[in-house]
A and B are shown apart, each in its own frame.
Chain A
Amino acid sequence: MVLSRIAKVSLATVTILGLGVTTLSADTLSEVQKQGFVKCGVDGGLPGFSEVGSDGIYRGIDVDVCRAVAAATLGDAKKVKYVALNAKERLTALQSGEIDMLSRNTTWTETRDTSLGLNFAGVNYYDGQGFMVTKKLGVKSAKELDGASICLQTGTTTELNVADYFRTNKMKYKLVSYDTNDQVVKAYESGRCDVLTSDQSQLYGLRIKLAKPDESIVLPEVISKEPLGPVVRKGDGRWFDIVRWSFYAMLTAEESGVTSANVDAMLKSDNPDVKRLLGAEGQMGENLGLKKDFAYQIIKQVGNYGESFERTVGQGSPLKIQRGYNALWTNGGLQYAPPFR
């Protein structure tokens, strides 16, 4: 009796020791295919970027990146499990493997790209930080904000930019920071602060959440560069490539005029660029470890970048944001995908 108990205990000990070290899986694609869905970290409460509609479905330009990756890897854009994260949790959630990718209006910075064990796969929205104030204050420029109380979301680059801006302009401010955008909006509405600062696109998104959107204006100053994009863990090159080229497929489709409406007809196109994109020619899908038609699935189910933009934040949405920097390079914007060949 005693002996067998000893044996069991020692066996357990040896097993634990024998396991040695199990590392986080470095093959996200196989994991995703095995579990049958992509676990994608999003904001969940930011109109235009990622917001749960009244029907319980996530929509937004960030959500579309998740859907594109699901369409590319699993052939079905609906196979995404969304994890709503606040700014403080998001990077840790990705580092620890809780999510497969992060698409949550996250600014690409040197520190985040190098020292956190993360890689930015692209830029799906070029943004810059701005200020929103109530019209009552009579402020016309950010330079007039000396002494103001400023509400913002903590754990963001916003927090750092605002410190830099006020320091370089020799102005003082009072910081009031919260965990989520909802709290920030509530505090701004109740008058806890004079100014709400965030990326400009978010300001427009948050403004429509206010009870009286017309009483607030966004000041003209843009005080920073905020390239927002999807993020993956370092050390899984193939998954990085998949996320990056899923997004580029959307850009390339817009550039060559392929839309979700005409993609089936485009399959018969003679244009070699389109043929390579849709998998009629070349090894694009195989190179990524995916099916030949991965880009076709993205465009069919999610649409090209222009469609996604207009539907979520552009003219087809309440936000009505102009393309601006997010126009294709051929239209004077910054969105540019390397060639599919």
Chain B
Amino acid sequence: MLALLRNQKIRGIIFQLLTVIGLVAFLWYIGANTVANIEQRGIQTGFGFLEGTAGFGIDQSPIPYTEEDTHGRVFIVGLLNTMIIAAVGIVFSTIVGLLIGILRLSNNWLIAKLAKAYIDFFRNIPLLLQILFWYNVVLRAMPNPKQSYNFFDTIFINNRGLYFPQPEYNTTFFAILISFAVAFTCVYLLNRWANRRKEATGKDFFVLPWGIALFLLLPALAYWIGGAQLHFSFPELRGFNFKGGKVLSPEFLALAFALTIYTATFIAEAVRSGIEAVSHGQKEAAASMGFSPYQSLKLVILPQAIRIAIPPIINQYLNLTKNSSLATAVGYPEIVTVFAGTSLNQVGQAIEIIAMTMLVYLIISLLVSALLNWFNHKMKIKER
């Protein structure tokens, strides 16, 4: 027996086994305790509540929702709103972050310092404060609906949100939508062909004018083919609020803006570190080959920098998604606000609801990181 214990390998296994047993026992203890307490109090358990009528309204929903719908639907609405805010935040923070990150390295003293000041300022203020700040700015600075800022009677800005015309979903609308997709594919293929031709023959081919022509002509053609019946529903002041058109609420705008501004600083730093990690010799080599600064950035520096920058940027995307739960401070109806907030309070089953909400973030995060890991793998330097 003792001889067995003196064997390092076996001892390791024994201790690992004991740790696992201890951990399981601890979890079991907590679980049993919870169940016993819940039973003693007569608190309802299970997921039956998902089929119960919610009974409360939600202001913004990408899918049809009324008070008569179930808590299960509230969950879906919250989930979709979370995904919308995360997607919007990711797109805009990437654009802003990339731009600022490059400007940060500019040779122009003023631009570089301004970019640095922006990063240092917004990175070091808690996100929650920023959200509340922007929200109050939006609410206080904007006029009431009757005195809206009016842009050509089509776009209105007031303290109820940003109103803009919404197209009716008819044949013409979908024809134009498809034409854009076709134009995009054409430009992509054209670009690939141009690159291949350049590699083979060295001849340049300017895609840009062709691309612009495609993006203008194809939708025009689609408009004509689709019956030339494009109608918009315009926002119009009726009674208390604007009716018709589409609206982005102040809650959404403040949250999206704060998330973008905040996350962009981290992405900018990731981009900068990526660029600076590319060895200086590469830049010099590009310059000595007669590359312009733009060419050297586009063809030599960025392709290498992005590979280095992608993993930290992935982290920022995940952070942004999780940070979107701070929406609860301003009442944007994402999953934490409506499901882990309102629904939880109406049904009172904290454990089930919080577990479901945690699972949502876990799954979103795992999916995003899986997707970007795949992208990272694809972008990796292929060593031959």
User: How far apart are the CA atoms of A117 and B341 in the complex, in Å?
Assistant: 19
Interface 0/1 of A162-176, CB less than 8 Å to B: 111001000001111
Contacts of A174 in B (CB 8 A): 59, 160, 241
Contacts of A149 in B (CB 8 A): 160, 240-241
Q: Is the interface of A mostly helix, strand, loop or mixed?
A: mixed
| Pair B43/A2 contact, Cβ less than 8 Å | no
In the complex, what residue of chain B is closest to A21 when comparing beta carbons?
B36
User: How far apart are the CA atoms of A163 and B304 in the complex, in Å?
Assistant: 56
User: How far apart are the CA atoms of A22 and B32 in the complex, in Å?
Assistant: 9
| Pair B328/A115 contact, Cβ less than 8 Å | no
Interface positions, chain B 319-357, Cβ under 8 Å from A, are 328-331, 337, 341-342, 344-348, 350
| Pair B42/A190 contact, Cβ less than 8 Å | no
Known contacts: A10-B18, A95-B350, A154-B331. The answer to whether A147 contacts B243 by CB under 8 A is: yes
Contacts of B40 in A (CB 8 A): 23-24, 26, 235
Known contacts: A149-B240, A167-B67, A179-B329. The answer to whether A160 contacts B56 by CB under 8 A is: yes
Kindly state whether residue A112 has any CB partner on chain B within 8 Å.
yes
Kindly state whether residue A211 has any CB partner on chain B within 8 Å.
no
| Pair A95/B342 contact, Cβ less than 8 Å | no
Contacts of B11 in A (CB 8 A): 2
Binds B, one of A45-53, A74-82, A86-94, A253-261: A86-94
User: How far apart are the CA atoms of A180 and B39 in the complex, in Å?
Assistant: 31
Interface positions, chain A 150-208, Cβ under 8 Å from B, are 154-156, 159-160, 162-164, 167, 173-179, 183, 186-187, 190-192, 194
Interface positions, chain B 1-52, Cβ under 8 Å from A, are 2, 5-6, 11, 14-15, 18, 21-22, 25-26, 29, 32-33, 36-38, 40-44
Known contacts: A9-B22, A13-B21. The answer to whether A163 contacts B241 by CB under 8 A is: no
| Pair B5/A2 contact, Cβ less than 8 Å | yes
| Pair B348/A175 contact, Cβ less than 8 Å | no
Min CB–CB distance A121 → chain B (angstroms) = 16
Known contacts: A24-B40, A112-B348. The answer to whether A13 contacts B29 by CB under 8 A is: no
| Pair B41/A95 contact, Cβ less than 8 Å | yes
Known contacts: A6-B18, A174-B59, A176-B331. The answer to whether A117 contacts B345 by CB under 8 A is: no
Contacts of A210 in B (CB 8 A): none
Min CB–CB distance A12 → chain B (angstroms) = 7
In the complex, what residue of chain B is closest to A159 when comparing beta carbons?
B56
Kindly state whether residue B139 has any CB partner on chain A within 8 Å.
yes
Min CB–CB distance B176 → chain A (angstroms) = 30
User: How far apart are the CA atoms of A12 and B23 in the complex, in Å?
Assistant: 11
Min CB–CB distance A251 → chain B (angstroms) = 28
| Pair B56/A163 contact, Cβ less than 8 Å | yes
Kindly state whether residue A57 has any CB partner on chain B within 8 Å.
no
Contacts of A13 in B (CB 8 A): 18, 21-22, 25
User: How far apart are the CA atoms of A173 and B40 in the complex, in Å?
Assistant: 41
In the complex, what residue of chain A is closest to B250 when comparing beta carbons?
A192
Min CB–CB distance B41 → chain A (angstroms) = 3
Min CB–CB distance A76 → chain B (angstroms) = 29
Kindly state whether residue A265 has any CB partner on chain B within 8 Å.
no
Min CB–CB distance A331 → chain B (angstroms) = 36
| Pair B239/A146 contact, Cβ less than 8 Å | yes
Interface 0/1 of B231-242, CB less than 8 Å to A: 000000011110
In the complex, what residue of chain A is closest to B28 when comparing beta carbons?
A17
Interface 0/1 of A110-137, CB less than 8 Å to B: 0110011110000000000000000001
In the complex, what residue of chain B is closest to A90 when comparing beta carbons?
B345
| Pair A190/B140 contact, Cβ less than 8 Å | yes
Kindly state whether residue B57 has any CB partner on chain A within 8 Å.
yes
Which of A159, A190, A192 has the largest count of B CB atoms less than 10 A from its CB? Answer: A192
Contacts of A190 in B (CB 8 A): 136, 139-140, 159
User: How far apart are the CA atoms of A167 and B238 in the complex, in Å?
Assistant: 20
Known contacts: A9-B18, A147-B241, A154-B342. The answer to whether A163 contacts B348 by CB under 8 A is: no
| Pair B38/A117 contact, Cβ less than 8 Å | yes
| Pair B55/A163 contact, Cβ less than 8 Å | yes
Min CB–CB distance A88 → chain B (angstroms) = 5
Which of B37, B41, B329 has the largest count of A CB atoms less than 10 A from its CB? Answer: B41
Known contacts: A13-B18, A176-B331. The answer to whether A116 contacts B348 by CB under 8 A is: yes
Interface positions, chain A 1-39, Cβ under 8 Å from B, are 2-3, 6, 9-10, 12-13, 16-17, 19-24, 26
Min CB–CB distance A43 → chain B (angstroms) = 15
Known contacts: A21-B32, A149-B241, A159-B342. The answer to whether A234 contacts B41 by CB under 8 A is: yes
A12, A118, A175: which contacts B57 (Cβ < 8 A)? A175
Which of B67, B239, B240, B331 has the largest count of A CB atoms less than 10 A from its CB? Answer: B240
Which of A3, A177, A194 has the largest count of B CB atoms less than 10 A from its CB? Answer: A177
Which of A6, A117, A235 has the largest count of B CB atoms less than 10 A from its CB? Answer: A117
User: How far apart are the CA atoms of A16 and B25 in the complex, in Å?
Assistant: 7
| Pair B159/A192 contact, Cβ less than 8 Å | yes
In the complex, what residue of chain B is closest to A5 when comparing beta carbons?
B15
User: How far apart are the CA atoms of A111 and B54 in the complex, in Å?
Assistant: 13
| Pair B348/A235 contact, Cβ less than 8 Å | no
Kindly state whether residue A233 has any CB partner on chain B within 8 Å.
yes
Kindly state whether residue A148 has any CB partner on chain B within 8 Å.
yes
| Pair A235/B42 contact, Cβ less than 8 Å | yes
| Pair B350/A92 contact, Cβ less than 8 Å | yes
| Pair A164/B25 contact, Cβ less than 8 Å | no
Min CB–CB distance B373 → chain A (angstroms) = 36
Kindly state whether residue B195 has any CB partner on chain A within 8 Å.
no
| Pair A154/B238 contact, Cβ less than 8 Å | no
Contacts of B365 in A (CB 8 A): none
Contacts of A175 in B (CB 8 A): 56-59
Contacts of B57 in A (CB 8 A): 159, 162-163, 173, 175
Offer 16 A-B interface pairs, CB within 8 angstroms, sorted by A.
A10-B18, A13-B25, A21-B33, A24-B40, A91-B348, A95-B348, A111-B347, A116-B43, A118-B41, A149-B160, A155-B342, A155-B345, A177-B59, A178-B330, A192-B250, A233-B41
| Nearest 9 A/B pairs, CB to CB | A117-B41, A155-B345, A117-B43, A116-B348, A163-B67, A190-B139, A175-B57, A115-B44, A159-B56
Other contacts beyond A3-B5, A6-B5, A176-B59: 14, CB < 8 A: A2-B11, A6-B14, A16-B29, A23-B37, A88-B344, A92-B350, A115-B43, A115-B347, A154-B341, A155-B341, A175-B57, A177-B337, A234-B42, A235-B40
